[in-house]
Structure 1
């Protein structure tokens, strides 16, 4: 399957994009480790901190179509450089704030928007425009795996830094680490854009026309509905898994290693998803992924909450964690081509992060009101089933027919 990435220029483009995502997603997906020490240091309360991080979830999604549109018009280089710098600045300023407004500004806006500008929509769009069509599915899987590997690396490292340097020292260290993505931006953007056939470009109209056409497309809207659930699920766990571990009387290291296991497991899940979308319809891949989440949550609720339970739960969920991105981006590309993929997939990610806002925020409200996350787990199961069902009516041509047409 991955033989399509053997060409040196295609492989270099893919690895550069994966490396950038490793940094931006590794930083973003590990932020939940700071919730407890932030609360202890500032006394702001879990609900207030959760609101700031929920705003960050929404900001991360809201910037995606904007960053994608700018990248589609002016190229991805300035967008990616600006995103990395903004992420570093937001992380560096966070230790200096001690109010809800300050936390919203740093983690809710600056860091989140910086991470979003250097994330899926711009990176997958930039890579897709720089390689042949037959390599895009595998490349999206590898790029996505880079983000997951970042979570595997960043979570235990940041937990160790929090314990060794305190949360402020760890946050400043995170700011420095994010700058490591800057050299990779040149590696990605120095590659020339591949000349694609007109039909593959999706449309010869303007960006505004492309967006209007997409928003009238039933299949595109169904895809948004399913991806909304994915955002709810991931943001809830990223933000509140450390709190769930604490409620079960387990050490903080269980949370950091669970997040790391999620990231490592998703490396394999992302690669597998990239291979699957070349053989099966992406909508079926998504339906199976979402249904498996509902089953895993049900198992977790019935199982004894031990360290091993958390690790097994993390491994199972991690396999589909962000592996939904390649098939989702693949459907957007099939529907509209790659000319405005960064923008149109960015809008899909916005729906993902509307769900993310609710997952992070409602999780904080639930634990403040009821003392645990039980109702959030039930809602998560119901939404996972909904996402599995809503993807099935999407009108997607069989893979064999698409390959024959290509």
Structure 2
């Protein structure tokens, strides 16, 4: 049994995980800025770069459960170190490789694995285990807000790097930044061996079987698919969409993505805080429905610089606010013993949605010359996600047996 003095301190874990998430999500959030310069430099259609981004997101999700298993078993620090090395390799690959198939596969595997090891799924377990029950939802909100700070801060940095040093040199600089920040922060995530939850000694295989036979878990999986579809389509294709519509100033897209990150700080934090005393399923349903309404209003209103900024602020409040609530539901139902792993499985659905959203955006633009169809799909999926989250039962599972060690 671990004593309180030996347990990792919540403040240390939140600072270290916050800085890792800030950089991991901040760098990734700006990948849309490279769509046009890389496509033009190599003579590719937008579908090629979109496919690379789609594969990154899909493999991020596919590797997520395994990164979560490793974090739950071997410790978050080791997983983050491995992820930082993958991140550096992936950024260098994107800078140097100009053969389209190799670019798509290599960047997809390396960045996908990097994000699986450094983003929400990998760090959720240690946060859930360190935070007391009454502060867990709040702590998840803090970590989500940290990733939003990265999105806000990194948008102007990445766009400025591309314009001042060139798109390939920008990748080299970001690779150095990842190494300098992430590797030291990993040591703040060292975790002493933890007891199995509530005296119930459950294996990973038993935890997986239990989760996938539980209806609320499957509903979370379905809803999270929509979250991924919406966010990555908007994040990657927004800069190009605005140029297509006549807003040629790249600063508008930079400001829009930065505003998403800025307002996401507040949205994520208060979603986590509200999740501590309001039913999380109702909050999730409200978020998805509001997203659908905001997107519809954005498309119906005249497109101006200010309508883009208003849309970005509204979407920012809703952007990653699903993360602390979803992780909170998983922890409340199944406990925290295998939280990173189970969050990884749910997040895989999110990334399948991301893959389809970003690739479909590029494919339909290449086919139709516009994004109209995929915008309509994002609205319909928002309504769907609002409906499937309503019947989720957040009650903790009562296990009928206790295995002996």
TM-score band (shorter)?
over 0.9
- Stretches of 4+ aligned residues off by more than 3 angstroms: 191-197
Cα distance in 2, alignment partners of residues 185 and 130 from structure 1: 16
Between Structure 1 and Structure 2, how many residues are aligned? 388
Deviations 1:161-216 (A, max 9, x none): 10000101111111111111211111122x546657616xxx42210110011111
Q: Which residue of 1 aligns with 2:219?
A: 222
Q: Which residue of 2 aligns with 1:404?
A: none
Cα distance in 1, alignment partners of residues 78 and 132 from structure 2: 24
Cα distance in 1, alignment partners of residues 53 and 59 from structure 2: 9
Q: How far does residue 107 in structure 1 lie from its aligned partner after superposition?
A: 2.4
Query: Which ranges in structure 2 are unaligned for 5 or more consecutive residues?
Result: 1-6, 397-405
Q: Which residue of 1 aligns with 2:255?
A: 257
Q: Which residue of 2 aligns with 1:187?
A: 188
Deviations 1:74-98 (A, max 9, x none): 1112111000111011101212111
Q: How far does residue 112 in structure 1 lie from its aligned partner after superposition?
A: 2.2
Q: How far does residue 28 in structure 1 lie from its aligned partner after superposition?
A: 1.1
Deviations 1:244-263 (A, max 9, x none): 11111112221121111101
| TM-score, structure 1 normalization | 0.93
Cα distance in 1, alignment partners of residues 91 and 14 from structure 2: 27
The answer on 1:174 being equivalent to 2:174 is yes
Of residues 251, 263, 266, the one that matches 2:264 is 266
Map 1:3-402 → 2, pairs under 5 A: 9-179=9-179, 180-189=181-190, 191-192=191-192, 198=198, 203-250=200-247, 251-397=249-395
Residue 129 of structure 1 aligns to a residue in which SS? helix
Q: Kindly report the root-mean-square deviation, in angstroms, between the aligned alpha carbons of the 2 structures.
A: 1.6
C-alpha contact 2:197 2:335 (8 A) present in aligned 1: no
Cα distance in 1, alignment partners of residues 395 and 140 from structure 2: 20
Residue 166 of structure 2 aligns to a residue in which SS? helix
Query: Which ranges in structure 1 are unaligned for 5 or more consecutive residues?
Result: 1-6, 399-406
| TM-score, structure 2 normalization | 0.93
Larger mean Cα displacement after TM superposition, 206-215 or 132-141 = 132-141
